[in-house]
Structure 1
Amino acid sequence: MTHTFLTFLLVLSVLAASATVARRLDLTPAIVFLLVGIGLALVPGFPPIQMEPEGVLLLVLPPLIYSAGVSMSWREFKWNLRPIALLAIGCVIFTTCAVAIAVHFALDLPWSIGFLLGAIVSPPDVVAPLAIARRLHLPHRILVVLEGEGLANDATALILYRFALLAVSTGTFSLPSATVAFGMILVGEVLFGLLVGWLSLRLRQLAHDPRVEITLSLLTPYLAFWVPEHAGGSGVLATVVAGLYVSWNGPLLISAATRLQGIFFWDFAIWLIEGVLFLIVGFHTRLLMETSKTLQIGTVLSAIAITTSIVILARFIWVFPGAYLPHLLSSRIRKREEIPHWRGITIIGFTGIRGVVSLAVALALPMTLANGDPFPYRDLILLVSFGVIFITVVGIGSTLPFVARTLGVAEYGHFEAKHEREKEIAARRELVTASRKELSRIIKERELPESLARFLEVRHEMRVRALPDAPPKEGEFTPATRGAIMVREIIAIERKQLHKLLREGKITDETRRRIERDLDLEEAVVDNRENNTPL
């Protein structure tokens, strides 16, 4: 037990140091985590650190998927359902088939093994490409499509994985039966996910305690994932649907205290999980090196090169017809939507980074078949999966910013963000105007004292003055931004005085915490407004 805890502390220390390095060097954290994990795994005497595949699939994957679902807008997910489905279902199936065909004819692997390998490496990771895309301020629709794809593609891949694993184990496969089962799993998980989302919100309403509500929110993804997974499904789609349901229906049902604490809790938890996962992928290098000793290095390198090339090319081959054919074949789509620009499609095609789910599924392969024979090509599948992850994370992850800037997509994203900021300012003004009208009515109907009425009116006047007429230009200091700077300085002065009063014994620690919370909330409001400025 002590050894496990010390190992956990070691991983946290490495994670914090790696994140600091990534921030200082302005690199994508996933790349740094992976490279640091590989480097430490090769250090003589470094303790082996591994995670059981079941731990990734059953313990780590549910909160990642659920959190992404809650963060996703159901309205935007619905509006972009066609491109998301084409990528999350169509592209995954297409990539699986392409990999199976390539390795069968190029490496003479059995069809069942080819489809199994294809299902493992077909789903792109959602963490690394989205992190890069957000840093580059890519257009909003690209972010929505990538996030939506990342939510659903694991479900498709895991279902295909189960079918392929069954084919390898039994030596038989029925396409009609698999198609019917695939459809039943999709429908069943959607309905179950809706039920879990509804139940979660109702229980949280009854709790009326932020700590209990956050605990229930943590249990929600496991309930949504484990039950379908145990019943033979993937669990991913049900968890996604539960998250989307909470995202759409939660704002009016979840209290402000719960939301503020929950945002911090989930933000930290997801950052910690994602970082640890990429580190652990690197830590598995030593295990994979031991595995590679039983295979010819030429065979392994050829398999990695072929599979990685097919994985990357298949995505490019799929995204362009998937974007343009619906416009060519449907007049309704042509009237409703603009034809997507080839630059944006190129960026989506260039985000096929594979991640920890592929390695976890590969590691979860059984050691033996049902009859006791060794599982065929297991070591080769492990090494190829790791090779694809390494090449796509480091190769694509490091070149994606250059490609985005070269194509000018990042510049359009900045322009779009400025327009979005203008709409945000307008929305804030509309909120203040609507509440001001209601305030006048309340003051008259309830005959509020003049001092109280004036206090409420001043609050509205201050909120109106804090809103700029337009988003500031780059490097420009508006009255609002200058005011934010001054507010931060004033809060710092008050903090020092508060600490002085505490040391002098004029207030208790409990009083200090209450005052400090008010100062923290005020400073968080200022930081939120500054951080949401796109420029």
Structure 2
Amino acid sequence: MDIILVTTIIASLFLVIGAAEPFAARIRLPYSVILAILGILIGTGATFFLRTELTDALNPVAEAILDLPIRSNAFLYVFLPTLLFQATLGMNLRRMLDDWVPILVLAVVAVVVATVSVGYALSWASTLPLAACLLIGAIVSTTDPSAVVSIFRSISAPRRLARIIEGESLLNDAAAIALFGLFMGFVMFGIPDPGFGDALARFPILIAGGALTGWLAARVAVWVMALFSRHDLAQLSISVALPYLAYIVAEQSVGASGVIAVVVAGLTLNLTAPGRLPPQSWTNLRELWDILAHWAGALIFVLAALLIPSLLEEVRLEDFLLVGVVIVAAIVARTAILFGLMPILTALKLSPNVERPYRVAILWGGLRGAVTLALALAVTESVRVPDGIQRVVGILATGFTLFTLLVQGTTLRWVIGRIGLDRLSPIDEALSRQVVAVALQTVREDVARTTENYELNRDTVRSEAKRFGERLDLAVTKAEESADILDRDRIALGLIALAGHERDTILARMRDRTISARMAEVVLSDADRLIEGARTQGRSGYQRAARRSIAYSRAFRASVMLHGRFGVSGPLARMTADRFEQLLSQRLILRDLGTFIDGRIRRIHGRRVAELLHDLLARRIEAHETALEGLRLQYPGYAEELERRFIRRTALRMEEREYVAMREDGLIGSEVYTALIQELATRRVAAERRPRLDVAVRRAAFVAQFPLFADLDDGAIKRLARSLTTRHVDAGEVILRKESVAKRVFFIATGAVELESAGQIWRLGRGEMFGQMAILTSKARRADVRAIAPTTLLVLDEDRFRRLLQRSQALRKAVRISAEKRGMDPAGLVPDD
């Protein structure tokens, strides 16, 4: 085939892609539907031109279009990895992990139910072997992720719901293609009636092998990319190679699912790369993949649609009945998932409540597309699949895809309108009126100042002011009509706005590089939880999300256990350093939110709501300070190291701004500017490096460094270390309760505790002790003691403590000081020196 002609056709397809998007927006149809229609028209036109004698001059072009090297391998090995990989890079993985149960259940169960439903329905309605029927079920069970995501963006669905459906749409591609590979093997090897249990038994092997391959490939890629931290183009090139190599190795060498390998590789890169790559490199990488995925997604739809006329050439009357069976079975299966399984997950508190209108939109929005056609094409190309099965698979898959695109796709907006998802809720409608009134008032004030500064014609100014005043009066009247919003709704809306501003501030700090990209992902996830909590449960949801942002995770507690019981300190050191950086980053953000409350929220929602938000913000700041103080007491020098790092990064950002301003003002040329920026980049790499945190506690070494035991000789220190026992407690755990019997003294190895008695609070950190006063006074304890950070305690029983007190002058001095702080007379409690 002439390369010039092929290049011309491909370039023309890009013109079609470029024109299709604005056209789809203009006529309000899904972009994928328009691409499919254009592809069908192009394929049908080329076939018509080739078979009629009226347009012989166009025969070379028609032949070139119909003879394009469109094979299933091109879809599966070129386009599909691109789409899957980009989708994983665009995910908020940390938030998606919060909902991994409903995502995984919906993805796997939905595919299995659809495959079984369609397969057995076809087996009942046709003479096809069960293996072929299940193969068709696997082909048509995967939805198009881009179509589903665009639906939810168009109707402004709740973020958590959209995230669950996006994850389900992505992963069900992987599950469906894995099942396709299983049943394709049964059909090619002539196994007419496979045991479905046998197929499912092989399913985990495909998943596990693909996941391991993708994880290893991504880890190697990130390691190599980190070595090339100063070469952006090299990093981009490695990222382009990653999904294709992971797919090929999994499919051809491991015998596992290439789709799973690509998904896991993308998720691993998404999770690890922001902390290993410079922020701008990560941004450039995601922008590159956005473009590649846009082109791949559009081309796969157009090229797959070109094949539809040829796939339907041998259609028969009875095939329409079978297409109807597939349509009914697939819709019934998806209905069972949405209206049967999802309410059960909600009742078990594994999934958010999905309201009925949203479930209807998901049901009718289950469009199929290029992946379905590509899998059907793979069947029609295989010489080991009988001709009769090839024909039926091609026709049924194509007919079902056309139904979803031309019937469901074209009526989707009408359905959304009928169920009311295209309209604002009463609260949002009332809020929008108030926002318009406040905005117009601000605009009038700004316009008045502008016209005064420019000394415009007074008659013109008065005329325009009158027109603007009429619009403002109308807006105020509508706002007054909506003044009956309940206070709890105003508070929820104010909290949503506050959390949204917090999110914007985090992004601005990330762009300024005062917050690392990796840490920005963490605090952005916390901000998203605040928004969703306020949207779904108001003030209580916001407060619950705020408490969760500073709570210790299960992984952190597991790392504490590993450190305490087995001496494995690596995970705890990493997570503690992450927590330090997270709390410091959030502290910077929270300090700026009060201005937003006074400047914006007060004008829309009033003084009472603003005061309440100030109170909630003050509580959040206090909780953060308590958590941060616990870490400071635990590792007093490390907080200072991180603060110095923040100051250095801020100074470098300001220095970069000065160089940019000097270049724009013409004070320095491009050569000098480039040299300065390169030298600054070298210093920035050093400033980005986080200091290492040592959390290891070695009892003997710790005792030797303990100020209270400074005057003990080596032999006494060794004996004391053997006498001490270790206890690990989580943050928030009560160590001692008031009025309990005194039997032990506690020395803080790492962590921090809080003592509360008679309304007074004392906080103790590493190297301090508690519990000694109750023993010395022989009275019940007067204070509750609670850990405010994961804490490691060294515990000494009463008898050994009294003997130690006799030998250690430093310990006696510490006890006296502690007694004086609490207003007690140390005389008689401590032996004389």
TM-score bracket for this pair, using the shorter chain length: 0.7 to 0.9
The alpha-carbon deviation at position 126 of structure 1 amounts to 0.7
Partner Cα separation in structure 1 for residue 335 and residue 137 of structure 2: 16
Partner Cα separation in structure 2 for residue 14 and residue 509 of structure 1: 40
2:190 pairs with 163, 167, 171, which one? Answer: 171
Q: Does 1:100 align with 2:130?
A: no
Counterparts of 1:466-505 in structure 2 under 5 Å? Answer: 469-470=600-601
2:23 aligned residue: 21
The alpha-carbon deviation at position 405 of structure 1 amounts to 3.9
The alpha-carbon deviation at position 511 of structure 1 amounts to 11
Q: Does 1:248 align with 2:379?
A: no
Give 3-state SS (helix, strand or coil) of 2:186's partner: helix
1:229 aligned residue: 251
The alpha-carbon deviation at position 466 of structure 1 amounts to 9.4
Q: Does 1:182 align with 2:203?
A: yes
Change (3 A) 1:413 1:212: farther
Partner Cα separation in structure 1 for residue 412 and residue 190 of structure 2: 41
The higher relative CO (CA closer than 8 Å, separation ≥ 6) is in 1
1:407 aligned residue: 419
Partner Cα separation in structure 1 for residue 257 and residue 289 of structure 2: 23
Change (3 A) 1:268 1:385: same
Partner Cα separation in structure 2 for residue 40 and residue 326 of structure 1: 45
1:378 pairs with 368, 380, 390, which one? Answer: 390
Change (3 A) 1:413 1:222: farther
Partner Cα separation in structure 2 for residue 374 and residue 430 of structure 1: 59
1:52 aligned residue: 71
Which has the greater radius of gyration?
2
Q: Does 1:191 align with 2:212?
A: yes
Give 3-state SS (helix, strand or coil) of 2:201's partner: helix
1:112 pairs with 131, 147, 156, which one? Answer: 131
Contact 2:498 2:593 in 1 (8 A): no
The alpha-carbon deviation at position 33 of structure 1 amounts to 0.8
Superposed CA offset, 1:332-379 (max 9, x none): x34x76544333333333331111111101101155655xx8443211
Counterparts of 1:387-402 in structure 2 under 5 Å? Answer: 387-402=399-414
2:356 pairs with 324, 333, 342, which one? Answer: 342
Q: Does 1:351 align with 2:370?
A: no
Contact 2:151 2:365 in 1 (8 A): no
1:274 pairs with 297, 309, 334, which one? Answer: 297
Partner Cα separation in structure 2 for residue 434 and residue 351 of structure 1: 36
Percent identity for Structure 1 against Structure 2:
23
Partner Cα separation in structure 1 for residue 303 and residue 669 of structure 2: 45
Superposed CA offset, 1:104-138 (max 9, x none): 11223221111111111111111112122212222
The alpha-carbon deviation at position 431 of structure 1 amounts to 8.7
Partner Cα separation in structure 2 for residue 272 and residue 301 of structure 1: 33
Query: What letter corresponds to residue 22 of structure 1 in structure 2?
Result: A
Partner Cα separation in structure 2 for residue 431 and residue 34 of structure 1: 37
2:500 aligned residue: 424
1:127 aligned residue: 146
2:241 pairs with 211, 219, 222, which one? Answer: 219
Q: Does 1:361 align with 2:359?
A: no
Superposed CA offset, 1:388-440 (max 9, x none): 1121123222333333344344546996999655313134557989999x99x
Partner Cα separation in structure 2 for residue 413 and residue 141 of structure 1: 21
Change (3 A) 1:355 1:510: farther
Change (3 A) 1:131 1:513: farther
Superposed CA offset, 1:4-34 (max 9, x none): 2122112112211222322333332111111
After TM superposition, the structure 1 stretch with the greater mean CA deviation from structure 2, 356-365 or 189-198, is 189-198
Give 3-state SS (helix, strand or coil) of 1:307's partner: helix
Partner Cα separation in structure 1 for residue 493 and residue 16 of structure 2: 35
Give 3-state SS (helix, strand or coil) of 1:108's partner: coil
Partner Cα separation in structure 2 for residue 341 and residue 406 of structure 1: 15
Change (3 A) 1:79 1:59: same
The alpha-carbon deviation at position 225 of structure 1 amounts to 1.4
Partner Cα separation in structure 1 for residue 132 and residue 603 of structure 2: 57
Contact 1:421 1:471 in 2 (8 A): no
Identify unmatched segments of 5+ residues in structure 1: 440-460, 474-497, 515-535
Change (3 A) 1:177 1:429: closer
After TM superposition, the structure 1 stretch with the greater mean CA deviation from structure 2, 344-353 or 111-120, is 344-353
1:4 aligned residue: 6
Partner Cα separation in structure 2 for residue 114 and residue 339 of structure 1: 34
After TM superposition, the structure 1 stretch with the greater mean CA deviation from structure 2, 254-263 or 217-226, is 254-263
Change (3 A) 1:199 1:250: same
2:718 aligned residue: none
Query: What letter corresponds to residue 379 of structure 1 in structure 2?
Result: R
The alpha-carbon deviation at position 169 of structure 1 amounts to 2.2
The alpha-carbon deviation at position 60 of structure 1 amounts to 0.9
Identify unmatched segments of 5+ residues in structure 2: 50-57, 429-491, 516-590, 605-663, 676-833
After TM superposition, the structure 1 stretch with the greater mean CA deviation from structure 2, 418-427 or 135-144, is 418-427
Q: Does 1:67 align with 2:86?
A: yes
Change (3 A) 1:270 1:257: same
Query: What letter corresponds to residue 319 of structure 1 in structure 2?
Result: L
2:222 aligned residue: 201
Partner Cα separation in structure 2 for residue 417 and residue 223 of structure 1: 47
Change (3 A) 1:466 1:321: closer
1:262 aligned residue: 285
Query: What letter corresponds to residue 324 of structure 2 in structure 1?
Result: A
Partner Cα separation in structure 2 for residue 207 and residue 138 of structure 1: 40
Superposed CA offset, 1:477-518 (max 9, x none): xxxxxxxxxxxxxxxxxxxxx9xx99xxx999999999xxxx
1:150 pairs with 146, 150, 169, which one? Answer: 169
Change (3 A) 1:423 1:377: same
Partner Cα separation in structure 1 for residue 330 and residue 77 of structure 2: 26
Partner Cα separation in structure 2 for residue 393 and residue 472 of structure 1: 47
Change (3 A) 1:103 1:247: same
The answer to which structure has the higher strand fraction is: 2
The alpha-carbon deviation at position 277 of structure 1 amounts to 1.3
Change (3 A) 1:435 1:39: closer
Counterparts of 1:78-89 in structure 2 under 5 Å? Answer: 78-89=97-108
The answer to which structure has the higher helix fraction is: 1
Contact 1:351 1:400 in 2 (8 A): yes
1:319 pairs with 338, 353, 360, which one? Answer: 338
Contact 2:379 2:390 in 1 (8 A): yes
Partner Cα separation in structure 1 for residue 351 and residue 40 of structure 2: 45
The alpha-carbon deviation at position 182 of structure 1 amounts to 1.1
2:262 pairs with 228, 239, 244, which one? Answer: 239
Give 3-state SS (helix, strand or coil) of 2:274's partner: coil
Equivalent residue pairs, number: 452
Give 3-state SS (helix, strand or coil) of 1:59's partner: helix
Superposed CA offset, 1:132-175 (max 9, x none): 22122222122212211122112211221122122222233344
Query: What letter corresponds to residue 300 of structure 1 in structure 2?
Result: D
Partner Cα separation in structure 2 for residue 220 and residue 145 of structure 1: 26
Contact 1:159 1:234 in 2 (8 A): yes
2:467 aligned residue: none
Change (3 A) 1:203 1:379: same
The alpha-carbon deviation at position 70 of structure 1 amounts to 1.3
Contact 1:362 1:381 in 2 (8 A): yes
Partner Cα separation in structure 2 for residue 350 and residue 471 of structure 1: 42
